[in-house]
Amino acid sequence: MSLITYRQALHDTLRAEMLRDENVFLMGEEIGVFEGSYKITAGLLAEFGEKRVRDTPIAEEGFAGAAIGAAMLGLRPVVEMMTINFSMLALDQIVNHAAKIYGMFGGQARVPMVIRTPGGGGQQLGATHSQNIELYYSFVPGMKVVAPSTPADAKALLLAAIRDDDPVLFLENLALYNTKGEVPDDDTPAEIGRAAITRSGTDLTLIGYSRMANVASGVAAELADSDGLDIEVVDLRSLRPLDRDTIISSVRKTHAAVVLEDDWLTYGIGAEVAASISDGAFDDLDAPVRRVAMAEVPMPYAKPLETAALPSKDDVVGAIRQTLAAVGRRTAGV
């Protein structure tokens, strides 16, 4: 095991996969000479050369299309888009081509490509650079969408994404890049479509992904100390496919659930999770499923307003206390 940052885990995994398979190559905005806006690709141009680390113009539709063509011909491109916000310029290529080619051509062609892209607020980057729009892609059959919350999962899910024969959107939250964690030294890929129970419990199920999975773990630990609560934490890890079985199994055990996301509440990932719980564990619920999400506004630039718009630890604690109060269990804060 090695204690490294989320950023380092991504860098090391990209390098290892490029060494393992000569068909893996990188392309994206400023990933070569500048070594990436977030320094994930630092040193890779010098090591592998321009053929396998390719700087692209700021033309997302164009280089997404080029990556799709390369993937159809047997290469395994890993595309870095500077932020998920910019991926909207390539929406046609991703949704109408990458996601559909395998089905439209009757399995004669596959698109083994990865799109790595960060999102999330808290960095004072304004409304058009701070979004979590993973729902756009999680909605589309033919895509796979993963969202690791820890350095270990960043490595394991990136290994899985690069080796997968379908297009994978690999979500990174800007707030996670400098977080540290233990990362196994072996190269065992994760299973895309499999959630993780990161903390076992019986009082309530707390469900999140990416940054909010870490918030969930922190809140669960804090409430265990302050209130003696035994909260189970489910890290979704994969948004498409969604591991409904793990979610439902957990809620059947705890009889209560709170769902967390960094996106807007309306029509969000949390809504799909809540609907899945209703479908599979309705009779097991002792209280309505509550959801915690960001404010329904374009992300403000001013720091106090941006902080107020983002879902906070206090929001999560409040939702948990309200849920448990609804089932007749009083906590220290109620």
Q: At 298, is the pLDDT very low, low, confident or very high (cuts 50, 70, 90)?
A: very high
246 in Cβ contact with 195 (< 8 Å): yes
Strand 2-5 and strand 180-183: the pairing is: antiparallel
Residue 229 has pLDDT above 80, yes or no: yes
Residue 331 pLDDT more than 70?
no
Q: How far apart are CA 139 and CA 144, in angstroms?
A: 10
**Quick check: 329 pLDDT over 90?**
no
Rounded (5°) CA angle 113-76-96:
30
- The domain made up of 196-325 has a fold known as Rossmann fold (3.40.50)
Catalytic residue among 17, 60, 172, 261: 60
State how far the alpha carbon of 138 is from the alpha carbons of 23, 162, 238, in Å. 27, 18, 9
Does residue 99 register a pLDDT over 80?
yes
Catalytic residue among 17, 80, 97, 129: 129
- Examine the residue annotation and report whether 47 is marked as an active-site residue of this protein: no
Enclosing H/E stretch for 183: strand 180-183
Q: What does the domain layout of the chain look like in residue ranges?
A: 2-183, 196-325
Q: pLDDT over 90 for what percent of the chain?
A: 97
pLDDT at 330: 57
Buried-exposed string 212-235: b where 16+ CB fall within 10 A, e elsewhere: bbbbbbebbeebeeebebebbbbb
**Residues 111, 164: contact at Cβ < 8 Å?**
no
196-325 has the same fold as 2-183: yes
Q: What is the pLDDT of residues 5-51, one digit of tens each?
A: 999 999 999 999 999 999 999 999 999 999 999 999 999 999 999 99
Q: What is the pLDDT of residues 40-83, one digit of tens each?
A: 999 999 999 999 999 999 999 999 999 999 999 999 999 999 99
Q: Which residues pair with 4 in a beta bridge?
A: 181
- Please give the CATH topology (third level) of the domain spanning 2-183: Rossmann fold (3.40.50)
Q: Is 60 an annotated catalytic residue? A: yes
Q: Tell me the three state secondary structure of residue 20.
A: helix
Element (DSSP H or E) covering residue 78: strand 76-80
Q: What does the pLDDT look like over 240-263, one tens digit per residue?
A: 999 999 999 999 999 999 999 999
Does the predicted TM-score (pTM) go above 0.75? yes
- Neighbouring CB atoms inside 10 A of 328's CB total 8
Count each helix (H run) and each strand (E run) in the chain, helices first: 12, 14
- In tens, the pLDDT along 105-154 reads 999 999 999 999 999 999 999 999 999 999 999 999 999 999 999 999 99
What's the distance, Cα to Cα, between the start and end of the chain in Å? 42
